[in-house]
Structures are given as C-alpha cells and as structure tokens.
Amino acid sequence: MAKPTPHDALIHIMVTMSAADRTMTDKELAKMGDIIETLPVFDGYDIQKLVKAAERCADILQEEDGLDQIIAGALDVLPRRLHETAYALAVEVAAADLHLEQEELRLLQILRDRFNLDRLTCAAIERGARARYQRL
C-alpha cells in the first residue's frame, strides 16, 4: 500500500467512519465536504483529489485487514498532535446524521485505543459534538 498523505489519512478516517454502519448518508458526505472546505487542517488541500482519496479508502476497506491498514496509515503519517483532530473529525461525521449505530461507536473506541487518546479528551470532543447537534 502506498503511504497516504496526511490529508488523505484524515479523509480515510472520515470515510471509514461514514461507512462503518454500511450506509454513507448524504448528511455524512455533506459534513465531510464542509470539514474539508472550512477547517484549517485542510488549508491548501486540492478538493479535486477528494474523490480519488475516498475511492482509495473504499478499495482499502475491501481488503481483509482494511481497517487496520487505514488506521496504521494514519498513525504513520499524522503527527501526534493531529491524533485528536482525526478523532474529532470521526466524531463529527458520526454525529452528522444525528444517530450513532453500534458499529460507529465501536470504531470510535478502536480509534481512541489506537491513537492512544485519553478518555477525558475524547469525552470532551464527544460532548462538544453532542452540544452542536442538539435540536429544539
């Protein structure tokens, strides 16, 4: 497997989260687009590369150890300071459709463990997303 760029690794994490429950909703896809267009971590990213990065992620996920490859690729190319960012992006995509399936919760747990994130930090990220997506 070719080493992903840091941007690709973040996109792979988001695509994997969206696909975790076997359904990529329009809200999740729109959230990914919003994230890429607005967050500083994607400054300078060529949006024309997004489809190719998402397709590459889908190809990797079809392999027997696809999830491990996605996470290992992210760990390999993302500096430690962006591990929380990767987790936060996954949470944002998971929360976008206002419903989390067991598969999505399990993937978040795997990401917490593999990125070696502390529970308090993760709880703060998750609580922030919960607050942003509340309805009247």
Give the CATH number for residue 78: 1.10.3680
| 47/131 Cα distance (integer angstroms) | 29
pTM here is 0.94
Residue 2 one-letter amino acid: A
The reply to whether 18 falls in a domain is yes
Q: Residue 120 CB: number of other CB atoms within 10 A?
A: 8
What is the predicted pLDDT for the residue at 78? 98
Residue ranges, the chain, pLDDT below 50: none
The reply to whether 43 falls in a domain is yes
What is the predicted pLDDT for the residue at 101? 87
What is the predicted pLDDT for the residue at 42? 97
Helices (H), 2-118: 6-19, 26-38, 50-62, 66-77, 83-95, 102-114
Please give the tally of structural domains in the chain: 1
What is the predicted pLDDT for the residue at 1? 59
Q: Residue 128 CB: number of other CB atoms within 10 A?
A: 14
The reply to whether 60 falls in a domain is yes
The reply to whether 57 falls in a domain is yes
DSSP state of 22: S
What is the predicted pLDDT for the residue at 41? 97
The reply to whether 1 falls in a domain is no
Range of the structural domain that residue 42 is part of: 6-132
The reply to whether 90 falls in a domain is yes
What is the predicted pLDDT for the residue at 66? 95
CA dihedral 13, 82, 93, 95 (to 10 degrees): 130
Q: Which two tokens stand for residue 25?
A: 């909703």
The reply to whether 33 falls in a domain is yes
What is the predicted pLDDT for the residue at 56? 95
The reply to whether 12 falls in a domain is yes
